[in-house]
Amino acid sequence: MAIRSIDHFPQRYARLGGALYLAIIVLGGFAEGFVANKLIVSGDAAATAANILASSELWRLSVAGNLVVVLCAVPLLWIEYLLLRPVSRQLVVLAVLFNLVSLAVEAISKLFLLVVLPTLQSADYLKAFDAHQLQTLANLALSSHDVAFNIALIFFGFTCLVNGYLIFKSGYLPKLIGILMQVAGVSYLTACFAALFAPALANLITPAVLLPPLIGESSFCLWLLVKGVNVAKWNERAAAGQLP
């Protein structure tokens, strides 16, 4: 019996991709939305340190969630490649490259989160530094995470632009979702460049500028999870592209 390749099961992998995307949205919302907003006080390192120490288990759970997000994004990247390559192999490889850089930088950014709690709790650090210095070091780690995460999202913004175009041109996924994903990409680029180079502008447009990414990515996620792809049209594109 011949072994059937992954290309014979686009609907199955669309559903799996939707489930992974949902996990990323939920865990990312919990970690970067709920916990960060609850514990991190902008411009107040002492209050932030006190909040993290008082809710250390919640902080650990948040950091773990951040790491799981990156782990889930790796197989999702592969699934998006498989689902979108019938449209254009060159462009889907470009999207993969952007996404790989994004995930690599994002994974490194989580290193800074992992050192926050040990910095505040370590007995060795407590002997070498006073409380204010430790709070400053922890705050520096948090700021470094934000910088690295914004850089990661710049690359992801370009990923959204390319994937949005591929979705729009596919014929087996809704054009509207392709447009929403491209709008999400523009929003990520605007928000992250502003955060890195124009903080005053970032304060004006955040969090409103992050609403389009939430809408675009949630729409793509739910469509994959509930509807999947139009298998007949996917097979047409796959046959036309002569996938192996």
How confident is the model over 166-190, as pLDDT tens digits? 999 999 999 999 999 999 999 999 9
Q: Is the pLDDT of residue 73 over 90?
A: yes
Alpha-carbon distance of 95 to 115, in angstroms, equals: 31
- The helix/strand/coil state of 114 is helix
Domain extent at residue 210? 11-230
Q: What is the structure's pLDDT at 128?
A: 81
Q: What is the structure's pLDDT at 244?
A: 47
- The helix/strand/coil state of 36 is helix
Alpha-carbon distance of 21 to 222, in angstroms, equals: 9
pLDDT category, 240, cuts 50, 70, 90? confident
Domain assignment present for residue 207? The answer is yes
Q: What is the structure's pLDDT at 7?
A: 54
Domain assignment present for residue 236? The answer is no
| Whole-number percent of the chain with pLDDT over 90 | 86
Alpha-carbon distance of 225 to 159, in angstroms, equals: 20
pLDDT category, 4, cuts 50, 70, 90? very low
| Whole-number percent of the chain with pLDDT over 70 | 95
Domain assignment present for residue 3? The answer is no
Q: How many distinct structural domains can be found in the chain?
A: 1
Domain assignment present for residue 168? The answer is yes
Q: What is the structure's pLDDT at 239?
A: 83
CB 112 within 8 A of CB 144: yes
Task: Give, in order, the Cα–Cα distances in Å from 221 to each of 72, 164, 175, 215, 224.
Answer: 13, 13, 15, 10, 5
Domain assignment present for residue 133? The answer is yes
Domain assignment present for residue 243? The answer is no
CB 157 within 8 A of CB 196: no
Q: State the residue for tokens 């995470």.
A: 145
Residue 59's CB is within 10 A of a number of other CB atoms, namely: 23
Structure tokens at 86: 């019938």
Structure tokens at 55: 């809710």
- Cβ within 8 Å of residue 37, ≥6 positions away: none
Q: Is the pLDDT of residue 150 over 70?
A: yes
Structure tokens at 138: 């922890």
Q: Report the number of secondary-structure helices (H) and strands (E) in the chain.
A: 11, 0
Alpha-carbon distance of 99 to 41, in angstroms, equals: 30
Domain assignment present for residue 33? The answer is yes
- 6-15, 126-135, 168-177: least confidently modelled range: 6-15
Domain assignment present for residue 112? The answer is yes
Alpha-carbon distance of 188 to 156, in angstroms, equals: 8
Structure tokens at 145: 């995470």
Q: What is the structure's pLDDT at 86?
A: 94
